Structure 1
Amino acid sequence: MLISAMAGLYLRNGMETSHVLDLALLYFGGGMLSWPFNLLAGRYLALGHRVETRFAAFFLALTAGTVLMTAFLFAMDYRIFYSRWHAPFGSVIWMFQLVFTGASAVYQFLVIGLGLFLPIGLVCLLATSLALAKRMR
């Protein structure tokens, strides 16, 4: 996912942003941290099915898991930035601020950041799903 994000940034604006390292860490971390969960979910969904169904199961698990983990990491970074203006920890207002800050961060990631998965990420997703589906018996 890191390569896909960097290719997307290069195609979008020639990587002329001051946050290239932050974005690289975000997409790398999202892909790496989601891999064990994606693999388990894909295997669970694919267990005892034909190759086509296994491919679909891995495709779904890899797609959803990677996007969700990367969005979660983005939301946590967003939360850290805005936490200095939030109410004290544990208060009712703090809980609302936590929920709505996280929701707005996930929305922003889905609108702005999801496109960085597409130049190379889709091809990698298809190839990985096919390889995992064929490998599992």
Structure 2
Amino acid sequence: MERLRAAWPPYSHLILGALLWALQMLVSAMLGLYLRNGLETSRLAEVAALYFLGGLLAWPFALPTGRFLAYGKPPEARFAAFFVTLIAATIAMTAFLFAMEYRIFYSRWHAPFGSGIWVFQFIFTSISAFYQFLVIGMRLFLPLGLGCLVVSSYYLAKRLR
């Protein structure tokens, strides 16, 4: 029970941390786009929103989970707990948002909502989008996102005692 209580951070850490993490992911994506094609894309605002929201929505899942896993552990284990939870939550949330956008685009050609074929189409369209994000979208987290991940994980591991 003590571990569960210790896992829940103050609301200020959730809100401020989410905003800072989202900003880091946005800057990472923009730097990645700049290095690859000089920010020349017709969907710059959408890409920026996707990575910002992915980071914003991932933090409230990653922070308590990382704190739960890191509770009572040595610094190296705390670092690993935050590293894994931050990377997993950020990738999963950003990929989920990408998949939902992908699904909205393709929904006009899908069967009526709730039908058996619709469920099949929804599942496989989402899986395809998730895979496409892993192959194409993950590159925008590099090189800056990896540095942000290491620094943030180190900071969180040092802060949690």
Residue 14 of structure 1 deviates from its aligned partner by 0.6
What does residue 148 of structure 2 align with? 124
1:100 aligns with 2:127: no
Residues 81-105 of structure 1 deviation map (CA, whole Å, 9 limit, x = unaligned): 0001100011000000000000000
Residue 66 of structure 1 deviates from its aligned partner by 0.2
Aligned with 2:97 (options 73, 93, 107): 73
Residue 119 of structure 1 deviates from its aligned partner by 1.5
CA distance in 1, matches of 2:93, 2:68: 19
Aligned with 1:20 (options 17, 26, 44): 44
| Relative contact order, higher structure (CA 8 A, sep 6+) | 1
What does residue 68 of structure 2 align with? 44
Residues 31-77 of structure 1 deviation map (CA, whole Å, 9 limit, x = unaligned): 00110100011011101101000000000000000000000000000
Q: Any gaps of 5 or more consecutive residues in structure 1?
A: none
Aligned-residue CA RMSD (Å): 0.4
AA aligned opposite 1:71:
A
1:34 aligns with 2:58: yes
CA distance in 2, matches of 1:89, 1:48: 48
Q: Which runs of 4+ in 1 moved over 6 A?
A: none
CA distance in 2, matches of 1:63, 1:134: 18
Fraction of identical pairs, as percent = 67
AA aligned opposite 2:74:
R
Q: Any gaps of 5 or more consecutive residues in structure 2?
A: 1-24
Q: TM-score, length-normalised on structure 1? A: 0.99
AA aligned opposite 1:107:
Y
CA distance in 2, matches of 1:34, 1:56: 17
What does residue 28 of structure 2 align with? 4
DSSP 3-state at the match of 1:89: coil
Q: TM-score, length-normalised on structure 2? A: 0.84
